[in-house]
Amino acid sequence: MLTIEPDRSPKPDESLAEYVRRVRTGMNISQAELAKRSGIHLMSVGKIEGGKTTRLSAKSKVGLSRALQISDSYLDAVCRGVPVTTVQQLKICPNCWVPGTEAESIWLHLRSKYCFACGTALRDRCASCNEPMTSTKHRFCAYCGKSYK
């Protein structure tokens, strides 16, 4: 069965409150359920979504990122108001990318899912072991040794 994943990366200019609420409602869970899954007090979840909390404790960050299945670097970025493009994940087109060269900046764009040139699904992790790509300098996965292409 296909499940539709909510877009889990923060949008430009999205506040922490908007971001958390959007991902939570995308997952179809209540504030109470989020509180339970993240180990954060329901009142604190309410404060975060109400925009009254703009800084997260380390514990809240870990809990939220786990419960919402998002990278804690995304939470850091929205808390600091840093454009999300600075926390972009390395992505390449397995068809067009030449190992050892820089990834095209358009592939790296947070919302890019397919190659602009050939339409192939972009890849941000090793096809063999699923570990995130670490560098375009490397031809092979650092974890399992398989070629990234």
Cα separation of 99 and 8, whole Å?
28
Rounded CA-CA distance 132/80 in Å is: 24
144 near Zn ion (CB under 5 A): yes
Q: Does 143 bind Zn ion (CB under 5 A)?
A: yes
d(CA 36, CA 126): 33
Torsion of CA 39, 44, 49, 55, to 10 degrees: -90
SS3 123: strand
Per CB under 5 A, the segment of 30-38, 75-83, 100-108, 123-131 that binds Zn ion is 123-131
Q: Is 117 in the site for Zn ion (CB under 5 A)?
A: yes
Task: Check binding of 121 to Zn ion (CB under 5 A).
Answer: no
Q: Does 118 contact Zn ion by CB under 5 A?
A: yes
| Nearer of residues 56 and 126 to Zn ion, judged by Cβ | 126
Q: From the CB of 99, what's the least distance to Zn ion, in Å? A: 14
> Closest approach of Cβ 7 to Zn ion, in Å?
22
Residue from 42, 62, 90, 96 in contact with Zn ion (CB under 5 A): 96
Burial 114-144 (b: 16+ CB within 10 A, else e): ebeeeeeebbebbeeeeeebeebeeeebeee
* Residue of 15, 95, 112, 134 that binds Zn ion (CB under 5 A): 95
Q: Which stretch binds Zn ion (CB under 5 A): 52-60, 64-72, 89-97, 105-113?
A: 89-97
DSSP strands (E only) in the chain:
none
Residues within the interface to Zn ion (CB under 5 A): 93, 95-96, 115, 117-118, 120, 126, 128-129, 141, 143-144
